Structure 1
Amino acid sequence: MNKTSVMRIGIVSDTHGHLDPRIAAFIEDCDIAVHAGDIMGQNVLEQLRPRSGQVVAVRGNNDIEQVWHADEHPALDTIGHEASFEVPGGHIVVVHGHCHGGDHPQHDQLRESFPHARAIVYGHSHKMVCDLEASPWVMNPGAAGRIRTRGGPSCLLLEASHDTWQVSEHRFPEQDI
């Protein structure tokens, strides 16, 4: 990737076994997909189809064997509680957030834990947040499924080049099930 190329990273969390199809379609136009936990089923990860095929996912507090189907336990065993990867212009760390302040993860605590990152992605609260005022950035895409979406399923798009990063928030209207 050259210095002017822009990488598109689609960021989701808290699907709780259901990925909204509009978000799945949105991710198809991204280079990488990130899932910040509470996946609750291999089917969700299979629906994340970014252009490169690269999906970065972490376990949430609900990603446990008692919740996932028995035949999916081998897939669950491959998902860690923390992930990190490089994109143009910096390093991204992904955690679920439940170990960083309970129901309301503390941004200062996340920044202290991962000072080397340019951005920290977390989930857990189901609340979309883009805290870009300090470094590293701290971002939560909200909930991309049906549960506690706080106004409709949501995700974030990070567009990263070597020189510039830009984040945009995307929320889809709630639909009757």
Structure 2
Amino acid sequence: MTVSVAIISDTHGHLDPRIIEIIRGCDYAIHAGDICGEDVLAAMQPKSAMVIAVAGNNEPRCMVDFPLPAISELTLPGGKICIEHGHEHGHHSPCHDSLREKHPDARVIVYGHTHKMVQDKSALPWVINPGAAGQTRNHGGPSCLVLSANDQQWDVQEFKFES
């Protein structure tokens, strides 16, 4: 059985409607921090209704009444995804080696913070960043990733929209 996971980050209070549609087509959804609004989480409606979200470095100021974990994980067929915002592994460019050392049992590590889409498959675990799914510093338009996973194979598809 193959499952799909929509992966987003850095919405900063606004989730692009085109990304909402992608999330609705997936089994699960992940938000890697800097959510900045409970309405963003409410708009994330994957098929299973399971949304995994972690706190970003901006959450203490904008989601005081809705505490989130710093790190979370999702177990899928064939492995585990570990999720964190990434800002504690280097401010402007989180260190992928540091992330890999912290989560050695993961198959994929998801982080946000930089607002730049990245797929580092040079070593295991893979380290991926969906870019920014909102309007803030989205480098030309909102973006997200969709991971498809089964026991044998995992694939990541990129989605980038015009502003």
TM-score bracket, shorter-length normalisation: over 0.9
Instruction: Report the counterpart of residue 88 of structure 1 in structure 2.
Output: 77
Structure 2 length-normalised TM: 0.98
DSSP 3-state at the match of 1:99: helix
Which whole-Å deviations, capped at 9, do the CAs of 1:51-82 have from their partners, x for residues lacking one? 00000000000001x323x6xx0xx22x1000
Which structure has the greater CA radius of gyration?
Answer: 1
Identity of aligned residues (%): 51
Structure 1 position 34 matched with structure 2 position 23: no
Instruction: Report the counterpart of residue 150 of structure 1 in structure 2.
Output: 139
Q: CA RMSD in A?
A: 0.8
Please show how residues 3-14 of structure 1 align to structure 2 within 5 Å: 5-14=1-10
Structure 1 position 169 matched with structure 2 position 158: yes
The runs of 4+ residues in structure 1 deviating greater than 4 Å are none
Structure 1 length-normalised TM: 0.90
User: Unmatched 5+ residue regions in structure 2?
Assistant: none
Structure 1 position 116 matched with structure 2 position 105: yes
Which whole-Å deviations, capped at 9, do the CAs of 1:137-166 have from their partners, x for residues lacking one? 000000000001012100000000011000
CA distance in 2, matches of 1:164, 1:116: 17
CA distance in 1, matches of 2:43, 2:121: 29
CA distance in 1, matches of 2:2, 2:92: 34
How many pairs are equivalent? 163
DSSP 3-state at the match of 2:18: helix
CA distance in 1, matches of 2:115, 2:74: 23
User: Unmatched 5+ residue regions in structure 1?
Assistant: none
Instruction: Report the counterpart of residue 131 of structure 1 in structure 2.
Output: 120
Instruction: Report the counterpart of residue 60 of structure 1 in structure 2.
Output: 56
